[in-house]
Amino acid sequence: MSDQHTLTQPSDDLKNRDVLTLLDFTSEEVKNLLTLAEQLKQEQQQNISNPLLAGKSLGMIFENASTRTRVSFEVGMTQLGGHALFLSPRDLQIGRGEPIKDTANVLSRYVDGIMIRTNSHDTVEELATHADVPVINALTDLYHPCQALADLLTIKEHKGKLEGLKAVFVGDGNNVAHSLMIASAKVGMDGVIAVPEGYEPDAAVWEEMKKTAAENNTSLELTNAPKEALQNADVVYTDVWASMGFEEEQTKREEAFSGFQVDKSLCSNANSDFIFMHCLPAHRGEEVAEEIIDGTHSVVYDEAENRLHIQKAILASVME
Protein backbone atom coordinates (compact mmCIF):
# COMPACT_ATOMS: atom_id res chain seq x y z
CA MET A 1 0.00 0.00 0.00
CA SER A 2 2.77 2.43 0.90
CA ASP A 3 4.33 2.08 -2.56
CA GLN A 4 1.10 3.27 -4.18
CA HIS A 5 0.41 6.04 -1.69
CA THR A 6 1.40 9.61 -2.44
CA LEU A 7 2.81 10.88 0.83
CA THR A 8 1.25 13.98 2.31
CA GLN A 9 3.32 17.11 1.94
CA PRO A 10 2.74 20.39 3.81
CA SER A 11 2.60 23.64 1.88
CA ASP A 12 5.37 26.19 2.26
CA ASP A 13 2.97 28.84 3.61
CA LEU A 14 4.03 28.37 7.24
CA LYS A 15 7.65 27.41 6.72
CA ASN A 16 9.91 28.93 9.40
CA ARG A 17 6.91 30.58 11.09
CA ASP A 18 6.57 30.91 14.86
CA VAL A 19 3.39 29.56 16.46
CA LEU A 20 2.81 31.88 19.42
CA THR A 21 -0.92 32.64 19.14
CA LEU A 22 -3.57 31.89 16.54
CA LEU A 23 -4.16 35.62 16.27
CA ASP A 24 -1.14 35.57 13.94
CA PHE A 25 -2.75 33.07 11.54
CA THR A 26 -5.33 33.61 8.84
CA SER A 27 -8.48 31.53 8.65
CA GLU A 28 -7.08 29.76 5.60
CA GLU A 29 -3.86 28.88 7.40
CA VAL A 30 -5.80 27.43 10.34
CA LYS A 31 -7.95 25.35 8.01
CA ASN A 32 -4.88 24.13 6.12
CA LEU A 33 -3.30 22.93 9.37
CA LEU A 34 -6.47 20.99 10.16
CA THR A 35 -6.47 19.39 6.71
CA LEU A 36 -2.82 18.41 7.04
CA ALA A 37 -3.48 16.91 10.47
CA GLU A 38 -6.35 14.85 9.03
CA GLN A 39 -4.11 13.55 6.26
CA LEU A 40 -1.24 12.68 8.61
CA LYS A 41 -3.67 10.95 10.98
CA GLN A 42 -5.02 8.86 8.12
CA GLU A 43 -1.51 7.86 7.09
CA GLN A 44 -0.69 6.78 10.63
CA GLN A 45 -3.88 4.71 10.84
CA GLN A 46 -2.85 2.99 7.60
CA ASN A 47 0.67 2.38 8.96
CA ILE A 48 2.18 4.59 6.27
CA SER A 49 5.49 6.15 7.26
CA ASN A 50 6.02 9.76 6.23
CA PRO A 51 9.47 10.95 7.44
CA LEU A 52 8.90 14.62 6.72
CA LEU A 53 11.36 15.68 9.43
CA ALA A 54 14.10 13.10 8.94
CA GLY A 55 17.31 14.39 10.48
CA LYS A 56 15.53 17.29 12.22
CA SER A 57 15.66 17.96 15.96
CA LEU A 58 13.18 19.73 18.24
CA GLY A 59 14.24 21.26 21.54
CA MET A 60 11.38 21.02 24.08
CA ILE A 61 11.61 23.44 27.01
CA PHE A 62 9.29 22.62 29.91
CA GLU A 63 8.92 24.92 32.90
CA ASN A 64 5.82 22.96 33.92
CA ALA A 65 4.97 19.29 34.07
CA SER A 66 2.96 17.85 31.20
CA THR A 67 1.49 14.58 29.98
CA ARG A 68 -0.22 15.28 26.66
CA THR A 69 2.11 18.06 25.48
CA ARG A 70 5.34 16.20 26.05
CA VAL A 71 4.20 12.83 24.76
CA SER A 72 2.43 14.22 21.67
CA PHE A 73 5.37 16.37 20.58
CA GLU A 74 7.98 13.71 21.31
CA VAL A 75 6.07 10.90 19.63
CA GLY A 76 5.12 13.22 16.79
CA MET A 77 8.74 14.03 16.04
CA THR A 78 9.61 10.33 16.11
CA GLN A 79 6.78 9.44 13.72
CA LEU A 80 7.96 12.17 11.34
CA GLY A 81 11.48 10.75 11.40
CA GLY A 82 12.99 13.41 13.65
CA HIS A 83 14.24 13.63 17.21
CA ALA A 84 13.00 15.52 20.28
CA LEU A 85 15.00 16.61 23.32
CA PHE A 86 13.25 17.14 26.66
CA LEU A 87 14.74 20.17 28.44
CA SER A 88 13.61 21.04 31.96
CA PRO A 89 14.89 24.10 33.89
CA ARG A 90 17.34 21.72 35.57
CA ASP A 91 18.74 20.80 32.16
CA LEU A 92 19.24 24.37 30.98
CA GLN A 93 21.24 27.29 32.27
CA ILE A 94 18.09 29.35 31.83
CA GLY A 95 17.04 27.78 35.13
CA ARG A 96 20.07 29.41 36.74
CA GLY A 97 19.53 32.84 35.30
CA GLU A 98 21.02 32.71 31.80
CA PRO A 99 19.32 35.37 29.65
CA ILE A 100 16.63 34.06 27.30
CA LYS A 101 18.46 35.81 24.47
CA ASP A 102 21.53 33.63 25.00
CA THR A 103 19.51 30.45 25.30
CA ALA A 104 17.62 31.28 22.10
CA ASN A 105 20.76 32.01 20.10
CA VAL A 106 22.60 28.92 21.30
CA LEU A 107 19.71 26.49 20.82
CA SER A 108 19.23 27.86 17.30
CA ARG A 109 22.72 26.56 16.48
CA TYR A 110 21.76 23.04 17.62
CA VAL A 111 18.12 22.36 16.79
CA ASP A 112 15.67 23.01 13.95
CA GLY A 113 12.80 24.15 16.14
CA ILE A 114 12.00 25.06 19.74
CA MET A 115 8.83 24.16 21.62
CA ILE A 116 8.28 25.83 24.99
CA ARG A 117 5.72 25.36 27.76
CA THR A 118 6.13 28.19 30.22
CA ASN A 119 4.28 30.55 32.53
CA SER A 120 4.67 33.99 31.01
CA HIS A 121 3.77 34.69 27.40
CA ASP A 122 6.47 37.38 27.45
CA THR A 123 9.04 34.58 27.76
CA VAL A 124 7.81 32.94 24.55
CA GLU A 125 7.82 36.23 22.68
CA GLU A 126 11.36 37.04 23.81
CA LEU A 127 12.54 33.56 22.87
CA ALA A 128 11.01 33.93 19.40
CA THR A 129 12.56 37.37 18.97
CA HIS A 130 16.07 36.02 19.39
CA ALA A 131 15.76 32.49 17.97
CA ASP A 132 16.65 31.78 14.34
CA VAL A 133 14.41 28.70 14.22
CA PRO A 134 10.62 28.37 14.61
CA VAL A 135 9.30 28.69 18.16
CA ILE A 136 6.10 26.88 19.13
CA ASN A 137 4.04 27.96 22.12
CA ALA A 138 2.93 24.80 23.93
CA LEU A 139 1.16 26.81 26.67
CA THR A 140 1.55 30.17 28.38
CA ASP A 141 -0.59 32.17 30.77
CA LEU A 142 -2.36 33.82 27.82
CA TYR A 143 -2.56 31.29 24.99
CA HIS A 144 -2.70 27.57 24.23
CA PRO A 145 -2.81 27.48 20.39
CA CYS A 146 -1.87 23.81 19.96
CA GLN A 147 -4.72 22.72 22.23
CA ALA A 148 -7.21 24.91 20.37
CA LEU A 149 -6.21 23.43 17.02
CA ALA A 150 -6.63 19.91 18.40
CA ASP A 151 -10.04 20.99 19.68
CA LEU A 152 -11.08 22.15 16.21
CA LEU A 153 -9.91 18.87 14.69
CA THR A 154 -11.98 16.93 17.23
CA ILE A 155 -15.09 19.04 16.71
CA LYS A 156 -14.83 18.63 12.94
CA GLU A 157 -14.50 14.85 13.27
CA HIS A 158 -17.57 14.54 15.48
CA LYS A 159 -19.78 17.21 13.93
CA GLY A 160 -18.71 16.91 10.30
CA LYS A 161 -18.25 20.65 10.03
CA LEU A 162 -17.13 23.74 11.97
CA GLU A 163 -18.83 26.73 10.39
CA GLY A 164 -22.11 27.70 12.02
CA LEU A 165 -21.62 25.70 15.23
CA LYS A 166 -21.86 27.22 18.71
CA ALA A 167 -19.08 26.54 21.23
CA VAL A 168 -19.53 27.46 24.89
CA PHE A 169 -16.68 27.61 27.39
CA VAL A 170 -17.76 27.39 31.03
CA GLY A 171 -15.39 28.29 33.86
CA ASP A 172 -12.29 30.41 34.19
CA GLY A 173 -11.54 32.91 31.41
CA ASN A 174 -8.04 31.51 31.01
CA ASN A 175 -5.56 30.68 28.24
CA VAL A 176 -7.63 27.73 27.01
CA ALA A 177 -10.73 29.91 26.77
CA HIS A 178 -8.75 32.59 24.92
CA SER A 179 -7.37 30.26 22.28
CA LEU A 180 -10.57 28.24 21.85
CA MET A 181 -12.58 31.35 21.04
CA ILE A 182 -9.93 32.75 18.70
CA ALA A 183 -9.74 29.42 16.89
CA SER A 184 -13.52 29.13 16.73
CA ALA A 185 -13.87 32.55 15.11
CA LYS A 186 -11.19 31.71 12.55
CA VAL A 187 -13.28 28.81 11.25
CA GLY A 188 -16.72 30.40 11.46
CA MET A 189 -17.93 29.13 14.83
CA ASP A 190 -19.87 31.30 17.27
CA GLY A 191 -18.52 31.45 20.80
CA VAL A 192 -19.69 32.14 24.34
CA ILE A 193 -17.60 32.35 27.50
CA ALA A 194 -19.53 31.89 30.77
CA VAL A 195 -17.50 32.90 33.83
CA PRO A 196 -18.11 34.06 37.41
CA GLU A 197 -17.64 37.78 38.04
CA GLY A 198 -13.97 38.57 38.49
CA TYR A 199 -12.75 35.68 36.34
CA GLU A 200 -13.25 37.20 32.92
CA PRO A 201 -10.69 36.79 30.10
CA ASP A 202 -7.64 39.03 30.03
CA ALA A 203 -8.88 42.49 29.00
CA ALA A 204 -6.35 43.02 26.19
CA VAL A 205 -6.87 39.52 24.82
CA TRP A 206 -10.64 39.95 25.00
CA GLU A 207 -10.42 42.96 22.72
CA GLU A 208 -8.39 40.90 20.23
CA MET A 209 -10.91 38.09 20.48
CA LYS A 210 -13.81 40.43 19.70
CA LYS A 211 -11.88 41.89 16.78
CA THR A 212 -11.20 38.41 15.40
CA ALA A 213 -14.87 37.44 15.70
CA ALA A 214 -15.96 40.62 13.90
CA GLU A 215 -13.45 40.05 11.10
CA ASN A 216 -14.82 36.55 10.55
CA ASN A 217 -18.51 37.47 10.87
CA THR A 218 -19.04 35.32 13.96
CA SER A 219 -20.56 36.19 17.31
CA LEU A 220 -18.69 36.24 20.62
CA GLU A 221 -20.41 36.71 23.96
CA LEU A 222 -19.27 37.01 27.57
CA THR A 223 -21.73 36.22 30.34
CA ASN A 224 -21.98 35.36 34.02
CA ALA A 225 -25.00 33.10 33.40
CA PRO A 226 -23.85 29.58 32.41
CA LYS A 227 -27.35 28.08 32.05
CA GLU A 228 -28.38 30.67 29.50
CA ALA A 229 -25.01 30.44 27.76
CA LEU A 230 -25.55 26.77 26.95
CA GLN A 231 -28.77 27.42 25.04
CA ASN A 232 -28.47 25.50 21.73
CA ALA A 233 -24.79 24.76 22.30
CA ASP A 234 -23.09 22.25 20.00
CA VAL A 235 -19.87 22.14 22.01
CA VAL A 236 -19.59 22.44 25.79
CA TYR A 237 -16.06 22.97 27.09
CA THR A 238 -14.55 23.47 30.52
CA ASP A 239 -11.18 23.45 32.27
CA VAL A 240 -9.98 23.25 35.86
CA TRP A 241 -10.99 26.18 38.04
CA ALA A 242 -7.50 26.69 39.43
CA SER A 243 -4.95 26.43 36.64
CA MET A 244 -1.21 26.02 37.24
CA GLY A 245 0.02 28.97 39.26
CA PHE A 246 -3.33 29.50 41.00
CA GLU A 247 -3.44 26.40 43.20
CA GLU A 248 -3.33 28.53 46.37
CA GLU A 249 -6.70 30.01 45.32
CA GLN A 250 -8.40 26.60 45.19
CA THR A 251 -10.79 27.14 48.10
CA LYS A 252 -11.64 30.69 47.05
CA ARG A 253 -12.31 29.59 43.49
CA GLU A 254 -14.50 26.67 44.53
CA GLU A 255 -16.78 29.18 46.23
CA ALA A 256 -16.69 31.64 43.32
CA PHE A 257 -17.43 28.94 40.74
CA SER A 258 -20.46 27.53 42.53
CA GLY A 259 -23.10 26.94 39.86
CA PHE A 260 -20.54 26.59 37.07
CA GLN A 261 -20.02 22.83 37.25
CA VAL A 262 -20.81 21.19 33.92
CA ASP A 263 -23.42 18.60 34.87
CA LYS A 264 -26.67 17.20 33.45
CA SER A 265 -28.69 20.10 34.77
CA LEU A 266 -26.45 22.70 33.18
CA CYS A 267 -26.25 20.80 29.89
CA SER A 268 -30.02 20.41 29.61
CA ASN A 269 -30.09 23.64 27.58
CA ALA A 270 -27.50 22.40 25.08
CA ASN A 271 -28.45 20.64 21.86
CA SER A 272 -29.27 16.97 22.41
CA ASP A 273 -26.24 15.91 20.38
CA PHE A 274 -23.75 18.27 22.05
CA ILE A 275 -20.19 17.10 22.63
CA PHE A 276 -18.30 17.70 25.87
CA MET A 277 -14.64 18.72 25.78
CA HIS A 278 -11.91 19.23 28.38
CA CYS A 279 -8.21 19.78 27.77
CA LEU A 280 -7.33 17.53 30.77
CA PRO A 281 -6.29 16.89 33.45
CA ALA A 282 -9.79 17.10 34.92
CA HIS A 283 -11.08 17.30 38.47
CA ARG A 284 -14.17 15.10 38.43
CA GLY A 285 -16.82 16.39 40.77
CA GLU A 286 -15.44 19.92 40.59
CA GLU A 287 -15.61 21.69 37.20
CA VAL A 288 -17.34 18.68 35.61
CA ALA A 289 -19.57 15.90 36.89
CA GLU A 290 -18.54 12.30 36.28
CA GLU A 291 -21.84 11.72 34.47
CA ILE A 292 -20.71 14.19 31.79
CA ILE A 293 -16.98 13.58 31.38
CA ASP A 294 -17.46 9.81 31.48
CA GLY A 295 -20.78 9.89 29.63
CA THR A 296 -21.82 9.44 26.02
CA HIS A 297 -21.37 13.11 25.09
CA SER A 298 -17.71 13.19 26.11
CA VAL A 299 -14.97 13.22 23.47
CA VAL A 300 -12.08 14.07 25.78
CA TYR A 301 -9.93 11.09 24.79
CA ASP A 302 -10.36 11.75 21.07
CA GLU A 303 -9.44 15.35 21.87
CA ALA A 304 -6.31 14.23 23.70
CA GLU A 305 -5.29 11.91 20.85
CA ASN A 306 -5.68 14.72 18.35
CA ARG A 307 -2.97 16.68 20.13
CA LEU A 308 -0.57 14.22 18.45
CA HIS A 309 -1.94 14.72 14.96
CA ILE A 310 -2.17 18.51 15.12
CA GLN A 311 1.30 18.68 16.67
CA LYS A 312 2.65 16.73 13.70
CA ALA A 313 0.91 19.10 11.30
CA ILE A 314 2.42 22.12 13.05
CA LEU A 315 5.91 20.62 13.19
CA ALA A 316 5.87 19.51 9.56
CA SER A 317 4.60 22.90 8.41
CA VAL A 318 7.04 25.16 10.24
CA MET A 319 10.15 22.92 10.30
CA GLU A 320 9.94 20.97 7.03
Tens digit of each residue's pLDDT (9 = 90 or more) over 25-34: 999 999 999 9
Average pLDDT over residues 98-124: 96
In this predicted structure, what is the pLDDT of residue 2? 46
The active-site residue out of 39, 79, 147, 311 is 147
In this predicted structure, what is the pLDDT of residue 244? 64
Predicted TM-score of the model (pTM): 0.96
CA distance linking residue 164 with residue 143, whole number of Å: 24
More confident residue, 265 or 3: 265
The active-site residue out of 121, 190, 239, 278 is 239
Per cent of the chain over pLDDT 90 is: 91
* Average per-residue pLDDT for the chain: 95
Which residue, 249, 319, 315, 314, is CA-closest to 25?
A: 314
CA distance linking residue 238 with residue 173, whole number of Å: 10
> 9 an active-site residue?
no
Feature table: binding site for L-ornithine: 175, 239, 243-244
**pLDDT above 80 for 96:** no
In this predicted structure, what is the pLDDT of residue 93? 80
Average pLDDT over residues 252-267: 96
Tell me how far the alpha carbon of residue 113 is from its chain's centroid. Answer: 18
Encoded amino acid at 122, one letter:
D
Average pLDDT over residues 26-52: 97
**pLDDT above 60 for 3:** no
Indicate the DSSP class of residue 115: E
Could you tell me the domains of the chain?
A: 27-143+307-319 (3.40.50.1370), 147-303 (3.40.50.1370)
**pLDDT above 90 for 231:** yes
Q: What would the pLDDT profile of 177-212 be if each residue is shown by its tens digit?
A: 999 999 999 999 999 999 999 999 999 999 999 999
Q: What would the pLDDT profile of 82-94 be if each residue is shown by its tens digit?
A: 999 999 988 888 7
Feature table: binding site for carbamoyl phosphate: 66-69, 93, 117, 144-147, 279-280, 307
Please, what's the b/e burial string for 45-76 (b: 16 or more CB within 10 A of its CB; e: otherwise)? eeeeebebbeebbbbbbbbeebebbbebbbeb
The active-site residue out of 178, 278, 279, 311 is 279
**pLDDT above 60 for 242:** yes
Which residue, 275, 189, 269, 270, is CA-closest to 235?
A: 275
In this predicted structure, what is the pLDDT of residue 249? 85
Q: What would the pLDDT profile of 152-177 be if each residue is shown by its tens digit?
A: 999 999 999 999 999 999 999 999 99
Distances (CA, A) of 298 to 162, 235, 273: 18, 10, 11
Average pLDDT over residues 100-118: 97
